[in-house]
Structure 1
C-alpha cells in the first residue's frame, strides 16, 4: 500500500498533484484542514508499504516518522517548514528547503524539472510567494492576464484549506486534489465552468467581504492585529486575509486572530513583513500549539491570557 500524506492547502495539494500527474499510482490519501499537520501518525504501515509526505512539518511528525522508518518503509519527504532534526536513515529521501522564497510545490517542480511548471507557479502564488511566482511566470512567458489567473486559482485553493473542520470547507482537500487531477494545466481548470474554481471564487468573495469590514484591533508602525469573530467564514478566510494584508502593507507584520471557545482562546495566523520574511515560524513555535516557516506561522490554540504576550513578542521582533 502507498500513502500520500499532504497538507490540505494549495502548496500541499499542488505538490502532490504534480507528482501524481507525472507518476499516477493508486494511493491512500491522508490530509485535512491546513492546520491539521500531525498527519504521519494516522497511518499504520508495514514492510512493503511506501509513503510520500508533502508540506507538513517534519518537526511536528518526527516521532511518527521514526516509527514508519523502523518498519522498513521508504519515505519520500518534501517540505519547506522548519524541520527540526532530520533523521539519518537510508530509507528517508528528504528534500527540505526552508528558504523563505521556496514552497513545497516549487521543490517538487525542481525535482520534476518543470514538467508541470504552471501548476508549481500556482502553488507559489497560493503560498503568497507573489514576487517569486511573478518572477517565474514572467520567465515562462505568461501574460499579465495569465499571471492573474494563476494567482487567483492558487489563492482560491489555499483559501479552501482553512476551517475548524473539513465540513466547514467547500471541498475536502482529498476531494479537491482528486478533482484537480483531471487537469494537466491550471488554465484547463479555469476554462472548465464545472471545475472547483467557480464555487471557490464565489465563497471566497463572500467571506473576504466580511473580513475586510473588520478594523484593526491593535496597530503600530511594524504590526497590525485583526480579531475576527467566531464564525465559519472567519476561519475559512483567516489565512488568505493575512496574505492580502501582507501584500497591501509589506513593511508591517500581520496577526489575524479568530476567536474560539467563547473568547477564551484564539487561532492565530502570523505573516512576517514581506520586506523582512523571517522569524514567523520561530515566534509561533514559542507557544504550545504553534509553528510554521520563516515568512508565515500559526498557533492553533492561543489562550486569551497570552494574547498580549504574543503581540509584544511579534512587535518587538519586527520593530525597525
Structure 2
C-alpha cells in the first residue's frame, strides 16, 4: 500500500517525492523535514513491512526524492535507477547496509548504531528545530533513553513526555498489518494529519485519532500478554502467535514491550501467515543492543543493531531460527551491525 498518487501508471508527475516507512520513525522524520522545507511533495509510504518503496517512485531528471527510514540495501536497485535518470536523492536511514553508492546526486545520512533512529538523524541535520517530533519518533522506535534525553533538552515535563511516548508508540503500532484492513488508519492518511502541527502535543490534543489508535493498541497488547513463550531460556524468549488481525497489528508493540520489561534478555515474536510462512520481529537486549540485524539477515530478513524482522520464514526453518536466536552473542562488540557512519554527500 502507498499513496494512491504515486503507485499507478499515468499518475500526474511531481518534482518532489517523500518516501518513508509508515511507522513512527519514518513519518516523524518526514514531518520534521517538511516543517523545515515546505513543499507540495507526493508521499509514497506503506505498512511496516512494505520496504521496497523506491521502485514505486516515477521521478525523472531534475526531480528530488527524500527517503526516510527505508533500508538502502533493500532499495539499492531502485535507488541506482533513480540516480541514473538524473534524480537528486536525499537519504536518511539507520538500517544495515553493506555499501552506500557513490554518486554526486546522492546525499546520504546513514548511521547504524543502536542509539539512533532516522528521526534523530533528521533532528541532528536540522539542529533540533523540531525536536519534539524527533522525541515522538524515538519513542516509537523503542529508544526510550534517547527520547528522554531529547525531551529533557527541550524542557518537556513528565506528563508531556508521557503523551509523546503514547503518540510514538501508537503511530508505530498502526504501521503493522498485512493490509489496510488490519490497521486503524493507513499511514498515507495519517501523515497529513501529523504534518499540520509543528507541536505534536497539539496533535494529541486536537486529533482524536491518537487516542483511538492507543486504545486499540492496549486491547491487542492485553491479548498478547496472555500468550506463553514457545521457547524460553536464560537469555531470551520466543513467542509464536496465531494468524489474526490482532496479532498482525501487535507483533511489533509486543516485542518492544517485552524488551522494555526484560532489558537484559532478547526476544523474538513470530506469527503465522495465511500462506503458512512466519513473520518474525526480533529485539536484542536493551542492555546489549546489537546482533538483531545479523541474525535476521541469516534468514532472509533485515534490520538494525537493536531490532530486525523476517518477512517470510518457512515454517520448516523455524526451529533452526530458534536455535540461532538462542545461541546469538548479543551486543555491539559481537555484532557487525555498526560500521562507521556515513554523512553528507556520497561521491
**TM-score surpassing 0.5?**
yes
Deviation digits for residues 263-303 of structure 1, max 9, x if unmatched? x3210000000011001011101112x00000000000111
Corresponding residue of 2:293? 281
Distance 1:145 1:13 in 2: 23
Residue pairs, 1:90-239, within 5 angstroms: 90-192=104-206, 194-239=207-252
Corresponding residue of 1:317? 328
Distance 1:219 1:104 in 2: 32
Structure 1: segments with no counterpart, 5+ residues: none
Distance 2:57 2:91 in 1: 15
Residues 253 and 318 in structure 1, CA contact (< 8 A), matched pair in contact too: no
Deviation digits for residues 36-83 of structure 1, max 9, x if unmatched? 111111122211211111100000011110000001110000000012
1:265 aligns with 2:277: yes
Distance 1:144 1:45 in 2: 44
Structure 2: segments with no counterpart, 5+ residues: 1-14, 332-347
- Which is helix-richer, 1 or 2? 1
Residues 54 and 78 in structure 2, CA contact (< 8 A), matched pair in contact too: yes
Distance 2:54 2:181 in 1: 21
The Cα shift of 1:19 comes to 0.7
The Cα shift of 1:261 comes to 3.0
Distance 2:234 2:264 in 1: 8
Corresponding residue of 1:70? 84
Deviation digits for residues 12-40 of structure 1, max 9, x if unmatched? 00000111111111111111111111111
Residues 288 and 330 in structure 2, CA contact (< 8 A), matched pair in contact too: no
Corresponding residue of 2:256? 243
The Cα shift of 1:195 comes to 3.4
Q: Which consecutive aligned stretches of 4+ in structure 1 deviate over 3 angstroms post-superposition?
A: none
Corresponding residue of 2:304? 293
Corresponding residue of 2:335? none
Distance 1:200 1:41 in 2: 30
Report the number of matched residues. Answer: 317
The Cα shift of 1:84 comes to 2.1
Say which of 75, 78, 89 aligns to 1:61: 75
Distance 1:158 1:89 in 2: 32
Corresponding residue of 1:3? 17
2:30 match: secondary structure = helix
2:181 match: secondary structure = helix
Q: Scaled by the length of structure 1, what TM-score is found?
A: 0.96
The Cα shift of 1:319 comes to 7.1
Distance 1:183 1:167 in 2: 27
